[in-house]
Amino acid sequence: MKIAQTFSEQVKDELSRYEYDGTAMKAVLSSFLTNNLSMSITKDKEVWEVRTQLNSTIRLIDQFFCQLYDIKRKISYTDVQKINNRRIYKLTLEGNFEQINSDLQLNEIYPKQILGNSINVRAYLAGAFLSGGSINSVEKSNYHLEIRSSKLQYLRLIQKLLQPFNISITLLKRKNNYVLYIKKAANVSDFLKIIGANSAMMQLEEVIISRDYYNNVQKLNNLDIANLRKSSVAGQTQVMMINRIRKSKLFKEQPDKFKFYCSLKLQNPEASLTEMVHIFQKKYQINMTRTGINHYVLKIKKIFNSNLKTIM
């Protein structure tokens, strides 16, 4: 049974299909190995090993070693893990690692030669996501992206490389590891663009736009409902006031047009100011404005308040 890809895996698959030139390959490798390399001695030989859950990622790293260095390589994988239904893919390397160490500046806190231009900086950041990155499903509203590492200096370098892009980043410790945390949707989208995951970035942007549109529609609907409720309450209040003041002396002294409005309001208690204007114009061919209607509303309140003691 084929397991559906997570959004993180989609991003890493896209990065693994990206065409990198020679120096960018070294930038990806330098970042990936700094964060995801274990070393051991087997039969007096130094052995390097990198692991990942994605076949496409291990193939990419293997391809880079094949193109750049004369070294013995072997890919293997475990059985499917019960905890997540994923395999662990492993690349084992044997050979002379002195050249690779020097070439990729793996022992440097800031590998200046590797990070010599903006393209390589972006490739180095792509290597960081390939080695320890994750991003939650685009269907969830709480967008966040993480890059994990056991090496604090490495994540501080990633944080420094992202500073010119004005991305808000949090660096925190989680158990035995450290995590770079990017939360805002716009920042997550910017990061995907920086590392070259343009298809994933467009997918995320489409979801963000759709969700924002839906939320705005909901807000407008809620506002309309609130306005309707407010209009209904105001209408019922006017009806109550009119019923209370119709027999008062002050009401009887008012112009016929005002009395006619009160009569129409009793017949249309839910009507707004605009709707009352239309009723006057279309049904009775009487020109009225919202200001004129509002003047009557204020007059009703004034008469009601002035006669409150006598009519209650």
**Other CB atoms within 10 Å distance of the CB of residue 279:** 19
Give pLDDT, residue 311.
41
pLDDT value at 1 more than 50? no
Q: What is the mean pLDDT of the chain?
A: 85
**Residue 104 to residue 29: CA distance in whole angstroms:** 7
pTM above 0.75, yes or no: no
Residue 87: closest CA among 47, 66, 56:
56
DSSP characters over 21-41 = -HHHHHHHHHHHHHHH-EEEE
Between 260 and 235, the more confident residue is 260
Mean pLDDT of 48-58: 92
CA distance 146 to 77: 25
Contact between 104 and 59 under an 8 Å Cβ cutoff? The reply is no
Q: What is the pLDDT of residues 66-75, one digit of tens each?
A: 999 989 999 9
Structure confidence at residue 185 (pLDDT): 83
Q: How many CA atoms lie within 13 A of 18 on its CB side?
A: 29
pLDDT recorded at residue 223: 58
Rounded to the nearest 10°, the torsion over CA 219, 221, 227, 230 is -100
| Bigger pLDDT: 261 vs 310 | 261
pLDDT at position 106, please?
A: 92
Residue pLDDT, tens place only, 87-119: 889 999 988 888 899 999 998 999 999 998 999
